[in-house]
A and B are shown apart, each in its own frame.
Chain A
């Protein structure tokens, strides 16, 4: 197993390296001179060149990349052009906010998605199954801003239950923070429900058709016991993988939701950085999302290996 995990980790590092190269060089393609963007169109050419030199953007690309990536590895992400201050504290604060929103959405969606998937599987092929599956896949396909708007109109404009736009003051109590998170979480929950329910459904159906479930049924166990003890334990494995993968997506896919609800997480941070051509902030933000995603996927693989004895032996080979 150790060898398998090491190999998996090695592949993740290679992928991250490639990603860092892509992000860095894509950033170079963006039109516009950083110093010009900071100083404005009216400043003197000599001043622009001086600042370019100070920022180090007039060095050869390879040198720039090396100093950027070694800085990243040491945890220093450079200075934001927009705010004229180090990137890390801003990025960390935004990431924490996004993580809060993402975690809240996951806490709601995991039980809901699994329940939906298991119910669909137990009535496989019947109307209930079709309704859950189609609703799930349709909801997953809807843009977050469309579902978010509808949710805001229902709960905020209509029922006046939730604030729009939701605002969290520093030092607010846990419960009132949760209250503000409900509205932005709704579109995320809708997106993820379909994925998780689909995996839970597939896993449950596979388990239901297995020999051990037939044996359990034939030896006279009650259906509830069979489902709880034999079906669920086996069916949830693929679901766990999907949840871990979706966690990465969740953090990154927040741009639209965070824009809509004016929530100052990493999505909003990247949005503003891109519009302001704030390269250090933009590149650090995008790379962070890549890292989060990679950690989530590797975590998913590790978890599956640990939980599934079959894969453990396969991996050891």
Chain B
């Protein structure tokens, strides 16, 4: 039986993972915030007090009031309604992109960590060359080149995460490969593929899960930043990053509410993911 990172005391073996997580206040708070935004993303137009697309050209740049709790933007659209609906693209692109990166990265990490040798050396050089550029800059360049459709964003972010995740998984696999069960499996005559995916993978799974949650936060960061740089959905579609991009110039005129509320919304989602990731890491660490 493989024993690895997950080995713990009897109590930990019996308590299911979700119970351990629910005991952590950081997880509960983070998950609640995420749930709130997921509900908003799903039922947004039903919850929103106004139509997020409706322009009122006689009531532009209105400060927050009882009629418009978060004020109106330069086209007179209700900022609160746009914030409620504006999370959709983030919650579609970020998880899918992270999933793509995790699957590819874990596979690559398993291969590199287990096989080692020349393949590992060569691949590590290429990975390092790509990592010599800040991720957001690579994403930006690819989005400029390939366009901003949802699919391309998912693939670009996923591919850029691949070497990052592979690097972490690779070192976890290297540690595992030195434990007795790996040479044992080899002696029994297991094929490499089986050893990698059936024997080693379950033992590095905690690393993979933590890596996924941490990267998910960064994916949201990336999607929002790209939208801010002008590579989001079309301008009329409510989107936090795009809305900030369209309105932050008006800060100079004192219209703070048009960019503050979307900025706080993004911040709350990322902090929530971070709280959840932190809790998961703590639970795995025991």
Contacts and interface: CB of A to CB of B under 8 A. Distances in A.
A256 B244 CA distance: 12
B251 A252 contact: no
A289 interface: yes
A173 to B, nearest CB: 23
Contacts of B141: 26, 274, 282, 286
A150 B264 contact: yes
B137 A255 contact: yes
B221 A143 contact: yes
Contacts of A169: none
B99 interface: no
Nearest to B224: A143
A265 B278 CA distance: 35
A145 B252 contact: no
Interface stretch (A134-142, A198-206, A236-244, A305-313): A134-142
A146 to B, nearest CB: 4
Interface string B241-259: 1001000100110101001
B60 to A, nearest CB: 18
B91 interface: no
B133 A137 contact: no
B132 A15 contact: yes
Interface in A118-141: 134, 137-138, 141
B62 interface: no
Contact of B270 (A141, A259, A282, A293): A141
Interface in A260-317: 260, 270-271, 274-275, 282, 286, 289-290, 293-294, 297
A2 B221 CA distance: 41
Interface stretch (A77-85, A101-109, A151-159): A151-159
A138 B251 contact: no
Contacts of B145: 26, 29-31
Contacts of A286: 133, 137, 141
B221 A141 contact: yes
B134 A253 contact: yes
A289 B271 contact: no
Interface string B265-286: 0110011011100100000000
A270 B26 CA distance: 39
B125 interface: yes
A14 interface: yes
A294 B125 CA distance: 13
Nearest to B221: A143
Given A252-B134, A253-B134, A141 B252 contact: no
B229 interface: yes
Contacts of A147: 267
A293 B229 contact: no
B263 A293 contact: no
Contact of A153 (B228, B260, B270): B260
B133 A256 contact: no
Contact of B140 (A16, A18, A141, A274): A274
A4 interface: no
Contacts of A282: 141
Contacts of B264: 146, 150
Contacts of B259: 149, 153
B128 interface: yes
B79 to A, nearest CB: 14
Consensus secondary structure, chain B interface: helix
Given A14-B125, A149-B259, A138 B271 contact: yes
B147 to A, nearest CB: 9
Contact of B278 (A14, A134, A143, A271): A134
A30 B133 contact: no
A159 B210 CA distance: 41
B136 interface: yes
Contacts of B260: 149-150, 153
B229 A289 contact: no
B251 A259 contact: no
Contact of A157 (B136, B217, B251, B267): B251
B129 interface: yes
A294 B137 contact: no
A256 B229 contact: yes
B144 interface: yes
Among B134, B142, B229, B270, the most chain A Cβ lie within 10 Å of the Cβ of B134
18 contacts: A18-B129, A22-B130, A30-B144, A134-B274, A141-B270, A144-B225, A149-B259, A157-B256, A158-B256, A165-B252, A248-B132, A253-B136, A255-B229, A256-B225, A260-B248, A275-B144, A286-B141, A290-B133
Given A134-B26, A142-B221, A146-B263, 15 more contacts: A18-B129, A144-B225, A152-B251, A153-B256, A164-B252, A255-B136, A255-B137, A255-B229, A256-B225, A259-B229, A274-B141, A274-B144, A282-B141, A286-B137, A290-B133
Interface of B: 26, 125-126, 128-130, 132-134, 136-137, 140-142, 144-145, 217-218, 221, 224-225, 228-229, 241, 244, 248, 251-252, 254, 256, 259-260, 263-264, 266-267, 270-271, 273-275, 278
Interface of A: 11, 14-16, 18-19, 22, 26, 29-31, 134, 137-138, 141-147, 149-150, 152-153, 156-158, 164-165, 248-249, 252-253, 255-256, 259-260, 270-271, 274-275, 282, 286, 289-290, 293-294, 297
Query: Nearest 4 A-B pairs (CB), nearest first?
Result: A18-B129, A252-B134, A146-B263, A149-B263
